[in-house]
């Protein structure tokens, strides 16, 4: 009940987009999702009527709430996030004071805000001039997909640098075994020529692809070898494709020609 009251009070603050509370016997941690840097003093004022004096609270700003596969908040992931607050600062200060070589020390907690850099076209193109672009009237009247909305602003176009792209750690050969291991209820549905459906799980697809990979390997094929195969049915093409991917072979899918006697687009 107390967790819900704390969360409800914090969610009323305009800067809070998401929130989850971890409650202990004498303390609580509020994990806050916000698109802007938070100032925690106003958040404390939101809790004056719901937070007992016996409970101390710390705040941690995060970009999003981690979820489990079932869609619930992953509290284990939240607990792994280090909380840097005044209580931790006091502990660090006491540890440093215990060192005989340190006479005086003070530990302060400050926000470390990351400034996002912006690049204008003039930064990228040395000879760029504003008049190189179409006039504002031309841009507004032309019916272009994805055209910028400049009706309310005359600022020059800019590029926002999102920083270094983090590699997810998965390659194409990793995806099928990972999907099969999850045991998801989702399956592959093949539509047959007669209109019926053939259902295949990712685990069954992996098993079939591994058999195809084993057969190709026995033929002496090596990674990066190109394999041309002509198959009519999708439930034959997909396992063959993944069999090539698992072995590092390069699949080359070609249409089955109606005849091999005369020249045609598939032969």
The domain that holds 179 is classified in CATH as 3.40.50.980
Does residue 28 share a domain with residue 97? no
Tens-place pLDDT, residues 174-188: 888 888 888 777 889
Indicate the pLDDT class of residue 25, thresholds 50, 70 and 90. Answer: confident
- How far is the C-alpha of 235 from the C-alpha of 98, rounded, in Å? 70
Does residue 52 share a domain with residue 16? yes
Do residues 107 and 92 make contact, with C-beta atoms less than 8 angstroms apart?
Answer: yes
Does residue 179 share a domain with residue 213? yes
Do residues 96 and 102 make contact, with C-beta atoms less than 8 angstroms apart?
Answer: yes
Residue 153 DSSP label: -
Q: What is the pLDDT of residue 111?
A: 58
Q: What is the pLDDT of residue 139?
A: 44
pTM over 0.85: no
- How far is the C-alpha of 94 from the C-alpha of 205, rounded, in Å? 59
For residue 238, pLDDT over 90 is answered with: yes
Does residue 8 share a domain with residue 53? yes
Range of the domain at 100: 83-110
Mean predicted confidence (pLDDT) in 49-61: 85
* Structural domain contains residue 124: no
In the block, tokens 């685990």 appear at 203
The domain that holds 70 is classified in CATH as 3.30.300.30
Question: Which of the residue ranges 121-125, 158-162, 168-172, 226-230 would you say has the lowest mean pLDDT?
Answer: 158-162
3-state class (DSSP) for residue 257: coil
Between 69 and 140, the higher pLDDT residue: 69
Q: What is the pLDDT of residue 239?
A: 94
H/E segment holding residue 253: strand 250-253
Indicate the pLDDT class of residue 167, thresholds 50, 70 and 90. Answer: low
Between 230 and 266, the higher pLDDT residue: 230
Tens-place pLDDT, residues 79-119: 888 776 666 677 788 888 888 888 888 877 665 555 556 56
| Residue 190 Cα to chain centre, angstroms | 29
* Structural domain contains residue 145: no
* Structural domain contains residue 234: yes
Does residue 104 share a domain with residue 56? no
3-state class (DSSP) for residue 127: coil
Does residue 188 share a domain with residue 244? yes
Indicate the pLDDT class of residue 67, thresholds 50, 70 and 90. Answer: confident
% pLDDT > 70, the chain = 76
Rounded to the nearest integer, the mean pLDDT of the chain is 79
Do residues 207 and 174 make contact, with C-beta atoms less than 8 angstroms apart?
Answer: no
Q: How many structural domains are present in the chain?
A: 3
* Structural domain contains residue 151: no
Does residue 78 share a domain with residue 42? yes
Most confident option among 16-25, 145-154, 204-213? 204-213
Does residue 48 share a domain with residue 31? yes
Mean predicted confidence (pLDDT) in 246-252: 93
- How far is the C-alpha of 61 from the C-alpha of 38, rounded, in Å? 7
Does residue 49 share a domain with residue 15? yes
* Structural domain contains residue 118: no
Helix segments in 36-171, DSSP class H? 40-46, 75-79, 86-97, 121-124, 136-141
Indicate the pLDDT class of residue 206, thresholds 50, 70 and 90. Answer: very high
* Structural domain contains residue 154: no
Does residue 100 share a domain with residue 47? no
* Structural domain contains residue 131: no
Structural tokens at position 92: 């660090």
Q: What is the pLDDT of residue 267?
A: 53
In the block, tokens 């999702």 appear at 33
Number of continuous H segments (helices) and E segments (strands) in the chain: 9, 9
Do residues 213 and 143 make contact, with C-beta atoms less than 8 angstroms apart?
Answer: no
* Structural domain contains residue 229: yes
% pLDDT > 90, the chain = 21
Q: What is the pLDDT of residue 243?
A: 94
Q: What is the pLDDT of residue 209?
A: 94
């Amino acid at each position: 009940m107390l967790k819900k009251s704390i969360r409800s009070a914090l969610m009323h603050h305009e800067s809070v987009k998401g929130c989850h509370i971890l409650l202990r016997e004498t303390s609580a941690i509020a994990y806050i999702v916000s698109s802007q840097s938070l100032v925690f003093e106003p958040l404390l004022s939101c809790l004056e009527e719901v937070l007992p004096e016996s409970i101390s609270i710390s705040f941690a700003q995060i970009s999003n709430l981690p979820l489990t596969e079932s869609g619930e908040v992953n509290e284990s992931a939240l607990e792994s996030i280090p909380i840097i607050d005044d209580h931790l600062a006091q502990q660090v200060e006491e540890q440093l004071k215990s060192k005989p070589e340190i006479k005086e020390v003070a530990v302060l907690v400050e926000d470390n805000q990351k400034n996002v850099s912006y690049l204008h076209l003039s930064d990228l193109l040395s000879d760029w001039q504003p008049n190189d672009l179409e006039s504002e009237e031309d841009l507004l009247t032309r019916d272009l997909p994805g055209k910028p909305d400049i009706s309310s602003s005359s600022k020059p176009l800019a590029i926002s640098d999102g920083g270094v792209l983090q590699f997810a750690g998965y390659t194409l050969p990793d995806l099928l075994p990972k999907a099969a291991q999850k045991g998801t209820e989702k399956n592959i549905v093949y539509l047959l020529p007669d209109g019926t459906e053939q259902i295949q799980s990712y685990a069954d697809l992996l098993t079939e692809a591994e058999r195809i990979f084993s057969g190709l390997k026995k033929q002496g094929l090596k990674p990066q070898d190109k394999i041309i195969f002509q198959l009519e049915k999708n439930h034959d093409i997909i396992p063959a494709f993944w069999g090539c991917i698992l072995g590092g072979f390069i699949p080359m899918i070609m249409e089955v020609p109606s005849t091999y006697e005369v020249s045609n687009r598939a032969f």
